[in-house]
Structure 1
Amino acid sequence: MKLIEITKEQFADFTNDFENVHYTQITGMEELIPLRGNEYNYLGLEDDQGQLQFATLLTRVKLRLGQSFVIKTGPLVMDLLNKDILPIWLTELKDYAKREGALDLYFIPDLPQKIVSESNTETLNKDVIDNISSQDFAYESLGQGIDQRFENWVYKKDLRGLTEQTLWDSYENNARHSIVRAEKYGVKVRPLAYDELDKFKDVSEHTAERVGYNNKSLEYYQTVYKNAGNRVKFLVAEVNFKKYRDNLLQIRADLEKEVAEIDLHLEKFPNSRKKINQKREYLSQIEAQQNRIDEAEQWVIDSKGEESTVLAAGMFLYTKNTVYYLLSGSYDHYNKLNAPFLIQHRIMQEAVNNDVEIYNMLGIDGDFSGADSIYEFKKSFAGYAEQKVGMFHWIAQPLKYKMIEGLKEILGRN
């Protein structure tokens, strides 16, 4: 067997035949790599009969003094437990990195090392870690936290065998209540067209500023939209604030009607403890409803006559058996409307109806104490946490690498 460079068409033909393809390895997503100033190649492992056995996308990360090679979530269809093929693959890969002048090589498989659910913790793939490490790769894994270099913890939900009803029944109470409230408030979810992607950028930028991470550019979203085709969906949750306000007014009127009927009863039975307590509860609800109405009146003014206002958004990408929740954003001043919950419900409804097996909600930090609000949000949809095996690192040019690391230390750079 030997490692060869293959064409985009060969890569596409190969990847389209397989189900377990990570979203970063589908044709079209490689067009994002140049946006970060890097380059890429398609690689394959060819057998003695000229048949392609494995394929992967390799990223060439530009450095000040050279380049790093990165294989992330590949290779496709390779059994990393196969002790006969794995050394061939890694040896060929290291030889290729040397020939191409790479400083080092990072190998990041898409495999779990731990699965954590409400009822169980399972450890997996220790043999894979040992097998790759035995080929002179240094191993790195992060117990807790989010690492920008590789997926550490993700959150998934198994959709196999679910209907819309059993999907709904599987959610925790918090998610169900939030979805019901969003629908009651008149929140609607719809896909964005290409020329509306600025709406997605605006809401994601608002979120990025709030939580302190770097937002993607409009060009990034446009590139995904154009190259991923019908695999990608940009969804927004919107509301018409005039209708929302009118709905609140009707709810208040219904509550006032209940109070009026209780007053009639109390005229005849003034000491009815049950009715007195009911009236107190309804009056409390009316006061809370009036606060919402006052807030809604301001939102109507702020909307400046727009038919609908964006509350939250999500970006999703389909592979053959998985839908990935890639990016999202929400306006925090509209949090009470629970729009993000409704977006999640809609994409999972669609996935179930299209026989998608897994919903991958991607990053969490592995903190299960209740302190991680992102994890708590995702957990309300009742899935499981999965820790990836981590990252393997091989140095192609040890002397140069040591020199660069020494310079970094002198200059105080990471």
Structure 2
Amino acid sequence: MTFQEITKDEFAQFSRQYSQSFLQTRQMAEMLEKRGYQPYFVGIKQNDELKLAAFMTSLKVFGGLKFELNFGPIGQANEAELASFYKGLKAFVADHQGLELRTYPDSNYRTYDPKGEAIDQPNERAVEQLKSYGFDFVVRHIGFDEQDVVAEWQYIKDLAEISDEETLLKSYNSNAKRNVKKAIKNAVSVRVADFDELDKVEKLIEGTGEKRKFATKDLSYYQELHQAFGDKAEMLLTEVEGKAIAAGVFIEVGSEFLYLYGGSDGAYGKLGGPFLLQHTAMLHALERGLKSYNFYGISGKFDGSDGVLRFKQNFGGYITQKLGEFAYYPSKTKFKLIDILKKITGRK
């Protein structure tokens, strides 16, 4: 069993066999490369057959390179293969002058019902497994300020038993049903935004991000996303009398339709636009034959303070919490010395 770099095409072909995060796609690798990150495609092979694969990036920082691997690796592996992957990964980072490697595994730590009540036991075994491979557990993040694109808390709706609009509507709570009907009555419409309209999408998301305190992206990010994912991506605009009042960014990955970013104009909240936006996106997911709708990020707080969670709860679903953030340092002594120097010099 050997750990090695693989080609972008090998990675793309292998990843098609599995359900993976959009962060583990060829398209995201190409986007991040444009943004100054160095992409790497790696995996383990046995008898020239690829068993596990992952995409990761490096970025120059003071003292070396910072590597990051988000929601990987991809594949179905036994413990021996997984151990071999992480052993090779550590050696690869060390050989490439890596100062540190940060990784966010795609494995679930715990599952919750829509109200935030745990419905299974914590996956401590997976945590201990990562530690046994030489990784330090850093933290499980809570709050939008601690999470960006890597959402450790995700709200998911299962569409496997839903085949039509009537059944979909029945799966919502009374508030969502009422608001979808209200939006239709108010002549609110939802359509796919053209490329030259993405500034409207960006503006609506930015406004909501500032209000809800979650990180957003600039216009060029949405443009690059649109170009990279092609017909696998949808940017939807919700309108009333030609006025854009809500928007969302959605990506098809594997059997899942992902709601990556969204926003709305609060002045038009009573029209029900955001509800019709989600309803339309789920209808599009059904049209695409997808089995899961991922509302993606929530804060992880269940004390009533998360308005984003309250909105998503209207549609039914469940919550997953990922394992959290882990780190590997080829030389902890060097990392600590450089960290001290950074603080003294004010470098990043």
TM-score normalised by the chain length of structure 2: 0.92
Give the corresponding residue for 1:230: 231
Q: 1:27 to 1:346 in 2, by over 3 A?
A: same
Structure 2 residue ranges without an equivalent (≥5): none
- 1:308-387 equivalences in 2 (<5 Å): 308-387=242-321
Q: Does 1:90 align with 2:86?
A: yes
Asked whether the 8 Å contact 1:323–1:351 carries over to 2, the reply is yes
Query: Secondary structure, in 3 states, of the residue corresponding to 1:53?
Result: strand
C-alpha offsets along residues 292-326 of structure 1, whole Å, 9 cap, x if unaligned?
A: xxxxxxxxxxxxxxxx1101000000012101100
* Aligned residue identity for 1:406: I
In structure 2, the residue corresponding to 1:190 is in which secondary structure?
strand
Equivalenced residues, count: 343
The answer to whether the 8 A contact 1:112-1:386 is kept is yes
Quick check: 1:29 aligned with 2:25? no
Whichever residue aligns with residue 85 of structure 1, its letter is E
Aligned residues: CA RMSD: 2.0
Q: What TM-score do you get using the length of structure 1 for normalisation?
A: 0.78
Match of 2:301, SS state, is coil
**Which stretch of structure 1 is more off in the superposition, 204-213 or 393-402?**
204-213
Report if aligned partners of 1:5, 1:41 keep a CA contact under 8 Å in 2. yes
Secondary structure (helix, strand or coil) at the match of 1:171 reads coil
| Match of residue 160 from structure 1 | 160
- Percentage identity across paired residues of the two chains: 33
Give the structure with the higher percent helix.
1
Aligned to 2:51: 53
Contact 1:31–1:223 at 8 Å: present in 2 too? no
Q: Secondary structure at the match of 2:54?
A: strand
Alignment of 1:169-188 (within 5 A): 169-188=170-189
Distance 1:124 1:399 in 2: 32
Aligned pairs for 1:36-75 within 5 A: 36-47=35-46, 49-75=47-73
Cα 1:120–1:406 change in 2 (3 A) is closer
State the match for 2:104 in structure 1.
108
Partner of 1:28, secondary structure, is: helix
Indicate the SS of the match to 1:144.
coil
Q: Confirm or deny: 8 A CA contact 1:113 1:386 kept in the other structure.
A: yes
Distance 1:9 1:159 in 2: 31
CA distance in 2, matches of 1:131, 1:90: 11
Distance in 2 between residues matched to 1:225 and 1:374, nearest whole Å: 24
Distance 2:286 2:329 in 1: 44
Equivalents in 1 of 2:259, 2:161: separation in Å? 20
Map of 1:189 onto structure 2 = 190
What pairs with 1:285-300 in structure 2 (closer than 5 Å)? none
Report what 1:393 is aligned to.
327
Gaps of 5+ in 1: 241-307
Do the aligned partners of 2:153 and 2:319 also contact (CA within 8 Å) in 1? yes
Q: In 2, Cα distance between the equivalents of 1:148 and 1:65?
A: 25
Within 2, Cα distance between the matches of 1:34 and 1:83?
Answer: 32
Amino acid at match of 1:325: Y
Structure 1 position 98, deviation (Å)? 0.9
- Report 1:187-226 matches (<5 A): 187-226=188-227
Structure ranking higher in strand proportion: 2
1:392 and 1:364 map into 2 onto residues whose CA distance is 20
Q: Distance in 1 between matches of 2:294 and 2:206?
A: 23
Answer whether contact 1:39 1:59 (CA < 8 A) is retained.
Answer: yes
In structure 2, relative to structure 1, the CA distance for the partners of 1:344 and 1:60 (3 Å cut) is: same
Q: Match for residue 151 of structure 2?
A: 151
Question: Structure 2: which amino acid aligns with 1:103?
Answer: L
1:7 matched residue in structure 2 = 7
Amino acid paired to 2:74: L
| Bigger Rg, structure 1 or 2 | 1
CA distance in 2, matches of 1:214, 1:354: 29
Distance 2:75 2:216 in 1: 33
The one-letter amino acid of 1:86's match is L
Structure 2 partner of 1:278: none
